Amino acid sequence: MIEVRPFDGLGHANHGWLDAHHHFSFAEYMDPNRMAVGPLRVWNDDTIAPQSGFPPHGHQDMEIITYVREGAITHEDNLGNRGRTVAGDVQIMSAGTGIQHSEFNLEDETTKIFQIWIIPNRDGHAPRWETKTFPRGENAGELVMLASGRAGDAATDIPVIHQDAALFGATLGNGQMVTHKLSAGRQAYLVPSKGSLMVNGTPAHERDGVVITDENEVQITATGDAEFVLADLPQ
């Protein structure tokens, strides 16, 4: 089953410096039918004004992945990590037992991000932070793993998340198709970050959310140049 959640129907809050759209219930947006997909608890589509951002604040027991759609985001935390993640790349933070961090758009242009929160498999993991390059260039046209905690996915160049889940990304030219297989008991959530797609024959447009359940295989075809992020999740 393919359920498309149009961008215009997402939760919305405009704070001036931050224009946020919520795929799932978050802060003052509450929809009992949109609490989560498996352990995927938050998918926020944030637009951050130049020279502004999130001041130091804490997180605990959450896997937080930030994909930068446009511009750049600068992260700093109390573990001594500091990094600038540019458009097309992702950063992965395991909040674990607790982490204090800030995220600022220090650029002179608007920054647009997806911020994705996944509930970990247990409380109390050690906190950590790292980055990963989104598939471009020689990896264009392929579905590339960005982070994973699934058994068998361990690799030195794949950031680990503490959940039986995996995050993928792809950049596709017009008419290109990739296929993703879902094992029994798995589901997925997909968001086109740029352009439009056909997902098993169902159209999905830029920044829509797509819930994928009871499908053994997902065929994703670009209608025009497109990019997307897909989370493979347990039910």
Question: For residue 119, what are the CA distances in angstroms to 61, 107, 142?
Answer: 7, 31, 27
Domain boundaries 2-234, CATH class: mainly beta
What pLDDT does residue 152 have?
84
What pLDDT does residue 88 have?
83
What pLDDT does residue 127 have?
96
What pLDDT does residue 135 have?
60
What pLDDT does residue 133 have?
77
Q: Which of 167, 74, 65 is nearest to 116 (CA)?
A: 65
pLDDT means over runs of 10, the chain (235 residues):
98 97 97 97 98 96 96 96 92 96 97 98 95 71 91 80 95 96 97 98 98 98 96 97
Q: What tokens appear for 150 in the block?
A: 């699934």
What pLDDT does residue 139 have?
67
**74 neighbors 119 (Cβ within 8 angstroms):** no
Backbone angles phi, psi at 8, to 5 degrees: -65, -15
